[in-house]
Amino acid sequence: MNFKQVATYDNYMLANMTMGLMTENDIKCQLKDENIITMDPLLNAAVGGIKLLVEEKDYDRALALMLQAENDYLKEVPCPKCSSHTLVVEEKTNNPQDFWGKLKNQVLYGQTSTYSKNYRCSNCKEIFSELPLSF
C-alpha cells in the first residue's frame, strides 16, 4: 500500500478527529509523527507536524471529505464578532514566477511558494487566521 499525505496538524486532537472521519468513511489512513509531537510539542516545527496519510487511491475522496466537513462546520459556527453565520474560506497561494520573488519567499519563509488560509465573515468583514470554535 502506498500512502500519500493529505493534511498536517499541530494538534493531536484535531488530527485524531480527522482520522476518525476518514475511518468512518472507509478510507484507510494513519498518523505519522503523532507520538513525537504529543510527547514534546516543541519538536513540531522540526518534525513538520502530525501528518495524516491516506491510501493514494483514496486521496481525492479524502480531500473532498475534509472540504465538505469544513464547509458544514462553517454553516453552523457563528462569527465571534457579529454572531452571523456567514463565514467563508479565503485561500491564497503566492507562487512568484520571477527570480526575485522566489528569493524573497525563500529568505522570509524558507520556501519558494507560500500558502495562507483565512476565514472571513461576509457580514462584518472580520478576518480570522484560525477557524472559530463553537461551544
pLDDT digits (tens, 9 = 90+) for 70-106: 889 888 889 989 989 999 989 888 888 899 988 988 8
* pLDDT reading at 133 higher than 80: no
* pLDDT reading at 15 higher than 60: yes
Question: Cell numbers of 3, please?
Answer: 500512502
Q: Find out whether 61 and 22 touch, Cβ atoms under 8 Å.
A: no
CA atoms within 13 A on the CB side of 25: 19
Nearest-angstrom CA–CA distance, 131 and 58: 26
Length of the chain: 135
Q: What is the pTM of this model?
A: 0.73
Tell the residue number behind the cell numbers 495562507, with chain if given: 116
Q: Find out whether 117 and 89 touch, Cβ atoms under 8 Å.
A: yes
| Predicted pLDDT at 35 | 92
Question: Cell numbers of 97, please?
Answer: 514566477
Three-state SS at 124: coil
Q: What is the pLDDT of residues 24-78, one digit of tens each?
A: 999 999 999 999 988 998 888 888 889 999 999 999 999 999 999 988 988 888 9
| Predicted pLDDT at 134 | 64
Measured over the CA atoms of residue 127, residue 130, residue 134 and residue 135, the dihedral's sign is negative
* pLDDT reading at 135 higher than 60: no
Nearest-angstrom CA–CA distance, 107 and 24: 42
Tell the residue number behind the cell numbers 502506498, with chain if given: 2
